[in-house]
Amino acid sequence: MNLRPRRLEDPEINLVSLIDVVLMMVVFFMLSSSLTQEGRIHIRLPQASSVPVNRPKLEPLTITVTEQGGYLVNGRELINSSSETLRTALLRAAGSSRNQRVTIRADARATNQSVVTAMDVLGRLGFAEIAIATVQSEPASKP
């Protein structure tokens, strides 16, 4: 029976092989990235005149939603608040142009449904630029 304590060796991690692998990866990525030369592609771009084309100014389209849920299109009040009446008024005001900006001015006390209805009608007609008008709130005073 051997009663002498065993001599335990300290565990050791050999980092030399890990450093070699990392160094080889760095060299590989450095060489492979310098071989692609995208800057050497020559493209001849077409030329255009420097005079901008004058676009006809489109009258801004404004929908106002009242507190009661009624609609005004460019300041003209509609006879009722149905979505079909709003659709007809928008078609008459915008004509065939669908690329103009539309501003929705809703009363703060108007219902969400009336604002969503106006946005839904605009979306179905193909208007993509819809802005909602707001006013800047006054900063709260510190007592």
Strands 102-106 and 61-65: parallel
Q: What is the pTM of this model?
A: 0.56
pLDDT the model gives residue 32 = 78
Sheet holding 76-77, edge to edge: 76-77, 71-73, 61-65, 102-106, 130-132
Q: What is the pLDDT of residues 70-121, one digit of tens each?
A: 999 998 899 998 999 999 999 998 888 888 889 999 888 888 899 999 999 9
Specify the fold of 61-132. Nucleotidyltransferase; domain 5 (3.30.420)
Nearest to 68 by CA among 119, 106, 102, 104: 106
Please name the residue that has the structure tokens 């565990």: 11
Amino acid at residue number 13: I
And the tokens for 2?
């051997």
